[in-house]
């Protein structure tokens, strides 16, 4: 007999399969020995009250051995003789676009400006060790995209745009733990994701597709108003319609589109800092206990949002048991991001704490700067990002050392006399963020922090550290496309895709958009192989 049950139980009762078997026996009247297996289908934590509960949906196998697979696999065919499509970028948008093209019989040619995911890791290490940023291989550029070495969280609100379940199953098929199908906030982990990405790449190659690293798209090959291929930095041309999935930091691509008068528009972003607390403090706050989480609960997360003077202030990309990492992608930049390993076992937690920025805010943000880009330019907010990252670099000492300030000192507009130990390995320097960051941002952060501190006692504290600056929450530009065909509104054969095009906001939503772009490309360019 197979029976599905909804359970609301204590953490220690949900700790392992043996204890779950006892629960099943209690709920069904079966003997413990007859419960052959228990498969968790959905899991979430209810920490709203002092007593913490685990909500579970389970499938119990009573006097029956489970034969069904833990995840659904996709069949990928040999497309060696198929029509070609070019995929620019090997982040989640590009990789999932390529895999979907294979499902539909097209042969993808994937070009990636950065290195493969393993060699990329060496360049990332040099950022911390030698303060050296390779503009083609860093946290933003390289196989796996920005998410490969900055956390690997897999939850999204974009459920109306495509199948989240399909994306998670594909991850499982390529080596991710099936637990991501279960958890309310699935997470692969920065330590586990690279292997999954490698398996996806090998799948593409095994099916007859191509993957080219250290190959940057420099120009489109045009035939009238249609993109028919790309030119690259190493002199190679690749022909076919183009899925452009270059990520939110490919500023050279935005400039190229602007120069070629291929329509783009400014898009709202969010800008602020990385806020780092001791993880134990967050556990104490979220689990309402001086002891913290104990042995049966995971590192606690939080999510805060409020309004301050007409703009949203909110936490972003919260990383429990994680690290703050240097995310610059070029010279004269200091940018920070967060990540967590699969264990989420570090001493710290961190989150982006950001303020909503709209295109019309550009003039206020740049009021003390020489505006080299006009307020009505589609590149205006990108110019603001660049200037703030440069200011951060200058205030950090022109290395990858990041300016930082204790949280309560910032709220009180005080310079921090010293700084707590941090996970940010390039190093920190005490700096008055309240003084040199734009008032538009700092005033709203102060108000937001006071609100969050009132709502969660202990959150606003000098034990917490603000590290500047968080600017890469999303693309500052939208590459405008037709909502039905997903092609650019004026250029045929060009499918702007994912986070870099302004149509996604994370790994899963980018992957969904990659699949959608692939489907539309095949719908428009399908037919016999040539």
CATH code, domain carrying 17: 3.30.70
Say if 69 falls within a structural domain.
no
Q: Do 47 and 110 sit in the same domain of this protein?
A: no
Could you tell me if 257 and 279 lie in one domain?
A: no
22 and 141 within one domain = no
Q: Is residue 76 part of a domain?
A: no
According to DSSP H, which parts of 297-438 are helical? 362-365, 380-395, 407-411, 433-436
How far apart, in whole angstroms, are the C-alpha atoms of residue 249 and residue 499? 10
Residue 331 lies in a domain: yes
Q: What angle do CA 14, 46, 351 make, to 5 degrees?
A: 110
Q: What's the token pair of residue 38? A: 């228990």
Give the pLDDT of residue 474: 93
Say yes or no: 55 and 195 in one domain. no
Question: Cα separation of 168 and 145, whole Å?
Answer: 17
The token pair at 165 is: 């379940």
Q: Would you state the pLDDT for residue 163?
A: 84
Quick one: pLDDT at residue 186?
87
Which contiguous run of DSSP H or E holds residue 520? helix 507-525
What integer pLDDT is reported at residue 189 of this predicted model? 80
Partners of 313 in the beta sheet?
A: 306, 355
Co-location of 290 and 228 in the same domain: no
249 and 329 share one domain: no
Question: What is d(CA 191, CA 201) in angstroms, rounded to the nearest whole number?
Answer: 17
How many other C-beta atoms can be found within 10 angstroms of the C-beta atom of residue 457? 9
List the CATH number of the domain containing 507: 3.50.50.60
Same domain for 7 and 104, yes or no, is: no
Q: What is the mean pLDDT of each run of 10 residues along the chain (530 residues)?
A: 94 92 94 94 92 95 92 95 97 97 98 96 92 94 86 62 86 93 86 92 98 98 97 97 97 98 97 98 95 92 97 95 95 95 92 97 93 95 97 97 98 97 97 97 98 97 98 96 97 97 93 97 76
Same domain? For 214 and 168 the reply is yes
Domain housing 6: 2-62
Residue 81 to residue 85: CA distance in whole angstroms:
12
42-74 b/e (C-beta count within 10 Å ≥ 16 → b): ebebebeeeebbbebebbbbbeeeeeeeebeee
Say whether both 246 and 329 belong to one domain: no
The answer to the question of residue 78 being in a domain is no
* Largest distance between two CA atoms of the chain: 76
Q: Are residues 350 and 428 in the same domain?
A: yes
Is 71 inside a domain boundary?
A: no
Number of Cβ atoms within 10 Å of the Cβ of 287: 19
The pLDDT of residue 529 is 45
């Amino acid at each position: 007999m197979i029976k599905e049950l909804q359970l609301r139980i204590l953490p220690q009762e949900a700790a392992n399969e043996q204890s779950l078997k006892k629960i099943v026996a209690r709920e069904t009247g079966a003997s413990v020995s007859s419960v052959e297996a228990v498969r968790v289908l959905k899991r979430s934590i209810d920490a709203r009250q002092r007593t913490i509960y685990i909500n579970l949906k389970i499938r119990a196998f009573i006097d029956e051995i489970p034969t069904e697979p833990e995840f659904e696999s996709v069949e990928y065919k040999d497309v060696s003789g198929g029509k070609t499509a070019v995929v620019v970028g090997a982040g989640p948008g590009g990789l999932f676009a390529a895999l979907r093209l294979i499902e539909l019989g097209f042969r993808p040619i994937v070009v990636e400006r950065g290195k493969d995911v393993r060699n990329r890791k060496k360049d990332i290490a040099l950022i911390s060790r030698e303060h050296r940023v390779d503009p083609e291989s860093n946290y933003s550029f390289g196989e796996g995209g920005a998410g490969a070495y900055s956390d690997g969280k897999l939850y999204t609100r974009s459920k109306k745009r495509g199948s989240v379940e399909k994306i998670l199953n594909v991850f499982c098929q390529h080596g991710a733990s099936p637990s991501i199908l279960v958890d309310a906030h699935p997470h692969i982990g920065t330590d586990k994701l690279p292997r999954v990405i490698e398996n996806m790449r090998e799948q593409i190659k095994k099916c007859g597709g191509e993957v080219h690293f250290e190959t940057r798209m420099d120009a489109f090959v045009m035939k009238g108003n249609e993109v028919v291929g790309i030119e690259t930095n190493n002199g190679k041309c690749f022909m076919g319609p183009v899925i452009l999935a270059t990520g939110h930091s490919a500023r050279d691509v935005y400039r190229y589109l602007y120069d070629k008068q291929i329509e783009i528009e400014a898009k709202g972003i969010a800008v602020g800092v990385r806020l780092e607390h001791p993880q134990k403090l967050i556990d104490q706050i979220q689990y309402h206990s001086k002891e913290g989480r104990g042995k049966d609960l995971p590192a606690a997360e939080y999510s805060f949002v409020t309004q301050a003077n007409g703009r949203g202030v909110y936490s972003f990309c919260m990383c429990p048991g994680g690290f703050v990492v240097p995310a610059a992608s070029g010279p004269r930049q200091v940018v920070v991001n967060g990540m967590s390993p699969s264990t989420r076992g570090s001493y710290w937690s961190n989150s982006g704490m950001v303020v909503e920025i709209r295109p019309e805010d550009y003039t206020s943000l740049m009021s003390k700067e020489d505006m080299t880009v006009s307020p009505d330019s589609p590149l205006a907010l990108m110019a603001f990002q660049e200037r703030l990252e440069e200011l951060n670099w200058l205030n950090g000492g022109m290395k990858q050392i990041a300016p930082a300030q204790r949280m309560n000192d910032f709220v009180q507009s005080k310079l921090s006399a010293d700084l707590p130990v941090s996970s940010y390995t390039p190093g920190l320097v005490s700096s008055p963020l309240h003084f040199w960051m734009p008032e538009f941002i700092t005033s709203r952060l102060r108000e937001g922090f006071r609100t969050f501190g009132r709502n969660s006692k202990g959150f606003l504290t000098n034990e917490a550290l603000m590290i500047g600056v968080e600017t890469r929450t999303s693309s500052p530009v939208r590459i405008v496309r037709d909502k039905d065909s997903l092609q650019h509104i004026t250029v045929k054969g060009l499918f702007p895709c994912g986070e870099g095009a302004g149509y996604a906001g994370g790994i899963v939503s980018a992957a969904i958009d990659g699949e959608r772009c692939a489907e539309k490309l095949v719908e428009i360019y399908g037919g016999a192989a040539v």
